[in-house]
Amino acid sequence: MTAATRCSAAHAGAEGAPPSAGGFRCGLVAIVGRPNVGKSTLLNRLVGRKVSITSAKPQTTRHRIIGIHTTGAAQIVFVDTPGFQTREGGALNRVLNRTVRNALEGSDLVLFVVEAGRFGAPDRAVLDLVPRSVPVVLVVNKSDTLRGPSRMLPFLERATRARAFAEAVPVSARTGRQVGELVRVIAGYLPEQPPLYGADEITDRSERFLAAELLREKVFRAVGEEVPYGATAVIDRFEEAGRLRRIHAAIVVEKPGQKAIVIGEGGEKLKAIASAARRDMEALFGGKVFLEVWVRVRKGWRGSAAELRRLGYEHG
């Protein structure tokens, strides 16, 4: 159903991979951690493109997203996951948690992401899901928010008591600090094998899927706390004519009141959401996008397995 999304020629940065293993390393790396620690931001930084949506609101990520980083020596296939939902309940949360568990299975390495200066019960709960047989790298993200190494060292000392981590690397996904170092560390843990994906592929998700996600991100960022969790986005039509993509999309909400919020006074909010989404789509796809967005009400879509499947939550 999904066609892989490639770097457009204008953006292709990956060097060509050699045809046989010959020292080439390749493997699956799951990115896990409690909601909002910056997993998706880190994935995007690692891939160099926005393949996974992010926001200041927890529980933005709802799907298993693959992001691919290829160099001449290694291919790292990152698997981003929703933050594990500890307040379980409801069909959507069950799908999200299953997504996390599935990503852990079959990984060669796990990146366990925490926020600099914070390591609590919700972090520990996620770490407990990681099987002891898989090496785990502790990634201390948001290092830009800590003032000076004098604060990082005691935190690292405390955090590394939680498990025998293979390595601990402080990074900033936002500024890119130490992310290159993290890539070097990761590559050392991958098995020698030929690449799984083409050197120009950045994700296994289709442009159609990514378009819906970018639209959902703008909803998460544009509206207050009460709307995003009841909202999702679907693509009704996706057509390509040369370098132009014509996309007909809908924002799906649970209540008429939420629809009114998303549309805003005089349609201003919806206009802003749609044009921000269009700009991101054009940057990611490397071509012009014509985007039309509607808002639909689907009562109780989050609680219905059939609705969830219809709205694209099939990747459990």
Ligand X SMILES: Nc1nc2c(ncn2[C@@H]2O[C@H](COP(=O)(O)OP(=O)(O)O)[C@@H](O)[C@H]2O)c(=O)[nH]1
Rule CB under 6 A: is residue 174 a binding residue for ligand X? Answer: yes
Rule CB under 6 A: is residue 56 a binding residue for ligand X? Answer: yes
Q: Judged by CB under 6 A, which of 6, 25, 39, 216 binds ligand X? A: 39
41 binds, among ligand X, Mg ion, none (CB under 5 to 8 A by kind): ligand X
Q: Which is nearer to ligand X, 35 or 67 (CB)?
A: 35
Rule CB under 6 A: is residue 66 a binding residue for ligand X? Answer: no
Q: Judged by CB under 6 A, which of 17, 26, 28, 41 binds ligand X? A: 41
Residues in the interface with ligand X (CB under 6 A) total 21
Q: Judged by CB under 6 A, which of 55, 93, 107, 203 binds ligand X? A: 55
Per CB under 5 A, residues contacting Mg ion are 39-40, 61
Residues 215-254 that bind ligand X (CB under 6 A): none
Q: Which is nearer to ligand X, 26 or 127 (CB)?
A: 127
Q: What is the spatial distance between Cα 81 and Cα 59, in angstroms, rounded to a whole number?
A: 10
Q: What is the spatial distance between Cα 112 and Cα 102, in angstroms, rounded to a whole number?
A: 15
Question: What would the 3-class secondary structure string for the chain be?
Answer: CCCCEECCCCCCCCCCCCCCCCCCEEEEEEEECCCCCCHHHHHHHHHCCCCCCCCCCCCCCCCCEEEEEECCCEEEEEEECCCCCCCCCCHHHHHHHHHHHHHHCCCCEEEEEEECCECCHHHHHHHCCCCCCCCEEEEEECHHHCCCHHHHHHHHHHHCCCCCCCEEEECCCCCCCCHHHHHHHHHCCCCECCCCCCCCEEECCCHHHHHHHHHHHHHHHHCCCCCHHHCEEEEEEEEEECCEEEEEEEEEECCHHHHHHHHCHHHHHHHHHHHHHHHHHHHHHCCCEEEEEEEEECCCHHHCHHHHHHCCCCCC
Instruction: Name the one range near ligand X by CB under 6 A: 51-59, 186-194, 246-254, 259-267.
Output: 51-59
CB of 144 to ligand X, least distance (A): 5
Q: Judged by CB under 6 A, which of 26, 37, 103, 234 binds ligand X? A: 37
Instruction: Name the one range near ligand X by CB under 6 A: 55-63, 199-207, 292-300, 307-315.
Output: 55-63
Q: Which is nearer to Mg ion, 111 or 270 (CB)?
A: 111
Q: Judged by CB under 6 A, which of 61, 75, 85, 232 binds ligand X? A: 61
Residues 79-108 that bind ligand X (CB under 6 A): 83
CB of 40 to Mg ion, least distance (A): 3
The contact set with ligand X (CB under 6 A) reads 33, 35-41, 54-56, 60-61, 83, 141-142, 144-145, 172-174
